[in-house]
Amino acid sequence: MQLSLVIPLKDEAESLPELYEWIIKVLHAQYTFEILFIDDGSKDQSWEIIQNLAQKDERVKGIRFIRNYGKSAALQVGFEHAQGDVVITMDADLQDSPEEIPELYRMITQENYDLVSGWKKVRYDNVLTKNIPSKIYNATVRLFSGISLHDFNCGLKAYKKKVVKSIEVYGEMHRFIPVIAKYAGFTKIGEKVVQHRPRKYGQSKFGWERFINGFLDLISIMFMSKFGKKPMHFFGLIGTLMFVIGFLSSVYLGVEKLYRVYHHLPARLIVHRPSFYIALTCMILGTLLFVAGFLAEMINRNSTIRNKYLIDEKKNIQ
């Protein structure tokens, strides 16, 4: 099978029939494909529409959550069930155009990209509530990740099958799939300018809080990617440095006190000096961080996935 379309949705009953017809019009004569609709706890008639589409077209498949788990969970389930050589994700609100699919497929299969992300260069969203915050958000992710994409959160993306089978998306990490893929070893990441259409039905399901949560998720991804398998390198290093700083500061205060006493100079009690408590705090925090790193290392060594690595099968010599 050439293509798998993974489409997460929530309360998109009005747009689903139109989206299905549009996809069929674009792909029917050119590709072998499947359409995976992931119903993320819809309260409207979305699931009934998906069932009707699946009855008349065996290429349509549906998965329904019993409640709303979020877009990341929907994408992860879609990735797990996708069978196509190229996996394409898109939103169900008709703001992503299926007309972009053939070129995205070509970039993966002919230009050998691991991942191609859409770039909604011209947007029809509210400037103050979406466009400006989105630009700030994308600039921040580019700075921290080193990936030169303009629109990390675009729902329209194409992947090699191996990419989606090798990564895990959870929480609200769907915004950072290119970052996750990069740290998993898939570094050939491209970008394509795609059409952004005005919302035809319903309303957006995302608010301001996604930008704050997004920044925290970015920190989590970068930390786990660099230190997830070696937590002692992070906690142990910082803990050791803090303990050494605190210990040397304490030694200095003690030597200075002895020097002043020996030469009959005015000398305050060490416990009356703020620097003593700062040094003591550094030693305590350093010890706690070191212990945290040690415990994390012990937990990691007992993990069943501690040695989960990806192998380049093309370069594997038997």
The CATH number covering residue 177 comes to 3.90.550.10
Q: Are 15 and 92 in a shared domain?
A: yes
pLDDT confidence of residue 197:
78
Q: How many CB atoms lie within 10 A of CB 195?
A: 14
Residue 307 binned pLDDT confidence (cut-offs 50, 70, 90): very low
pLDDT confidence of residue 189:
95
Mean pLDDT of 41-65: 94
Mean pLDDT of 269-297: 90
Q: Which residue has the higher pLDDT, 233 or 45?
A: 45
Q: Are 223 and 242 in a shared domain?
A: no
311 belongs to a structural domain: no
pLDDT confidence of residue 18:
94
The three-state (H, E, C) secondary structure of the chain, written as one string:
CCEEEEEEECCCCCCHHHHHHHHHHHHCCCCCEEEEEEECCCCCCHHHHHHHHHHHCCCEEEEECCCCCCHHHHHHHHHHHCCCCEEEECCCCCCECHHHHHHHHHHHHCCCCCEEEEECCCCCCCHHHHHHHHHHHHHHHHHHHCCCCCCCCCCCEEEEHHHHHHCCCCCCHHHHHHHHHHHCCCCCEEEEECCECCCCCCCCCCCCHHHHHHHHHHHHHHHHHHHCCCCHHHHHHHHHHHHHHHHHHHHHHHHHHHHHHHCCCCCCCHHHCHHHHHHHHHHHHHHHHHHHHHHHHHHHHCCCCCCCCCCCHHHCCC
Answer yes or no: is pLDDT of 175 > 70: yes
Answer yes or no: is pLDDT of 212 > 70: no
pLDDT in tens, 231-267: 888 888 899 999 999 999 999 999 988 888 888 888 8
Q: Which residue has the higher pLDDT, 129 or 182?
A: 182
Mean pLDDT of 115-123: 87
pLDDT confidence of residue 192:
94
Mean pLDDT of 180-194: 91
Query: Cα(200)–Cα(211) distance, rounded to whole angstroms?
Result: 24
Please tell me the total number of residues recorded for the chain in this structure: 318
Q: Across the chain, what does the average pLDDT equal?
A: 85
Q: Are 23 and 133 in a shared domain?
A: yes
pLDDT confidence of residue 50:
95
Answer yes or no: is pLDDT of 38 > 90: yes
Q: Are 221 and 253 in a shared domain?
A: no
Contacts for 311 with CB less than 8 Å, ≥ 6 apart: none
Of 175, 206, 227, which marks where a domain is finished?
227
Q: What percent of the chain has pLDDT over 70?
A: 83
Of 209, 227, 245, which marks where a domain is finished?
227
Q: Which domain holds residue 250?
A: 232-301
Query: Residue 86, exposed/middle/buried by CB under 10 A (0-12, 13-18, 19+)?
Result: buried
Q: How many CB atoms lie within 10 A of CB 131?
A: 14
Query: Cα(205)–Cα(93) distance, rounded to whole angstroms?
Result: 11
Q: Which residue has the higher pLDDT, 201 or 312?
A: 201
pLDDT in tens, 71-103: 999 999 999 999 999 999 999 989 899 999 999
CA distances from 130 to 52, 90, 108, 213 (A): 35, 19, 29, 15
Query: Cα(155)–Cα(95) distance, rounded to whole angstroms?
Result: 9
Contacts for 112 with CB less than 8 Å, ≥ 6 apart: 188
Q: Are 156 and 289 in a shared domain?
A: no
Q: Are 91 and 236 in a shared domain?
A: no
Q: Are 69 and 182 in a shared domain?
A: yes
Q: Which two tokens stand for residue 255?
A: 């030597």
Number of domains in the chain: 2
Query: Worst-scoring range by mean pLDDT, 40-49, 160-169, 246-255, 298-307?
Result: 298-307
Answer yes or no: is pLDDT of 315 > 60: no
Mean pLDDT of 15-28: 93
